[in-house]
Structure 1
């Protein structure tokens, strides 16, 4: 596949990314910025065939995908094993693997075509990131992770329902949510899904161009569900 950035060299792509990083005061190591520019190029190539992302320029990538991913990364201790659930186009999974090489990142994507694209992207980026073409619940039957990450996957009631019987297979869940998270929490509570669950807002931050803040929720189960 050819690059979708018209008449743009790798250096030019990195410069475009760096301009957006500077504009929004996002600090990144040079090698990470270069790898992220390469990732965006590959992602947008695949996006011409599959619906992997709505963010198809560096400005959108920085203000939405990257800021979310970096805020999430700041709450994951060093050397942790991470499963990105419903990885889609690789946010935050691929971004975590690039910007936090100390982490042991894996991704779960149940849509076969998307999983194939993610495997190709990781191979071309030279990232050692396992991609499971399966539902996360099935992956957790065979593997244990310190942290599960979720972004734009499902409402809280579904997340809590999915993982309530796999609580011994992971330590905690970190979920990126928008302003509707309060309504989602109330819905989950009405269905009794918050019983035995510690749910906390561990971060709240603005995203450029949006009036409402995003939050990062930490979800920990107090005990396995019988």
Structure 2
């Protein structure tokens, strides 16, 4: 018969290992990436990013939903930015998020209604737009996708116009990832959604301190 203390010890060890691994996945998912700096003089073009505006993340009400008026106003501003970009022949890049880290995915399945994990019916865009390019990422920084950087290089893009959600996570991490590489960053403030406006102000001020422009 296995001693009780041995069983308890094994359970405690397994829980500790789970926590350590989960923290690692969360830290990795929410850390801006770094990469080779671009020659901005060779990148005269702009691109508009629509970050994570997916059905799973843009519902109204409930535990994970938004206040309806706020959501509609911000989505309207994103739609306006898309129309203006298309009229100016600025490429529109849609960035979609799919959680793939095993423990984060498990936690979202258990406690987050499965939003954003593989197999969810809400992974598609919640706006009726046809992007010029689409990126799927599993980390908060859009630069974690090699295809994203490849598209920017091929199209000589040096300035990024950022919209989408959440300002405190994927928007600010993508902005920092861009600044880390020498891109010009412009954030369309009224086209950014954030659940914590106070925290978002802190992030936006920090981004301005690094050279990002908020309009």
The TM-score normalised by the length of structure 1 is 0.37
TM-score for both structures, normalised by structure 2: 0.38
Greater per-residue helix proportion: 2
- Which has the bigger relative contact order, CA under 8 A and spacing at least 6? 2
